[in-house]
Amino acid sequence: MNNLAELSKMTEDEARDYLERVRWPHGPVCAHCGVIDGATKLEGKAHRPGVYKCRSCRKQFTVTVGTIFERSHIELRLWIMAFAIMCASKKGVSALQLQRQLGLGSYQSAWHMAHRVRHAMSTEPLKGMLTGRVEVDETYVGGKPRLGNKEGRKTGRGTSKAPVVALVERGGSVRAFPIARSPLRKR
């Protein structure tokens, strides 16, 4: 998903599939015993969507078990939108603003969501991730230098060059990777 407008159109099933792809890029991992790719998806009228059963420990689990989403009655699509809003805001987001933007029924729900999202952002990162103060920038790489007048040159998203994002940890590591190009929309 690229922006908040696309996230707002997401259904609950699409939100669950998105979280499964993010949390389990190589297939489901049992939240109870940690067995990798040893789970069966339970389907049918007797089971709610997104439930898996581990073949090793025989326990059932979903993508939310062991996360900040566990035991929450707030829809997953709203959680994803809350993450997007809070990550995109330079100066932070208040719980009241989150309540208004997501259409939540109570301030307490918004406050709870905001604190859980902040907690998730402040916990120990996974191995190999950047820590501390991280700066992000993008550039476009590739192509031949163009000669001639400057009016015919395209820059930024209008160019055919490959977009690259770089993350720089102050006084530490650098991560750079190409990003997928979304189709340009005519305005």
10 domain residue, yes or no: no
Residue 76 lies in a domain: no
| 149 within some domain | yes
The answer to whether position 142 is within a domain reads: yes
Q: How many domains does one find in the chain?
A: 1
Q: Which domain holds residue 164?
A: 134-178
Could you tell me whether strands 162-169 and 39-41 are parallel, antiparallel, or unpaired per DSSP bridges? unpaired
Contact predicate 167/137, CB 8 Å: no
163 belongs to a structural domain: yes
Q: Report if residue 1 sits inside a domain.
A: no
In residues, how long is the chain? 187
State residue 34 phi and psi, 5-degree precision. Answer: 80, 10
Written as one letter, the residue type at 82 is: A
Helix/strand/coil for 53: strand
Place 186 in a pLDDT band, splitting at 50, 70 and 90: very low
pTM: 0.66
| φ, ψ for residue 170, nearest 5 deg | -60, 120
Residue 122 falls inside a structural domain: no
Q: For residue 119, is it within any domain?
A: no
Determine the average pLDDT of the residues in 65-82: 93
Backbone torsions φ then ψ of 134, nearest 5 degrees: -120, 130
pLDDT, one tens digit per residue, over 150-182 is 656 666 666 778 888 888 888 878 888 888 766
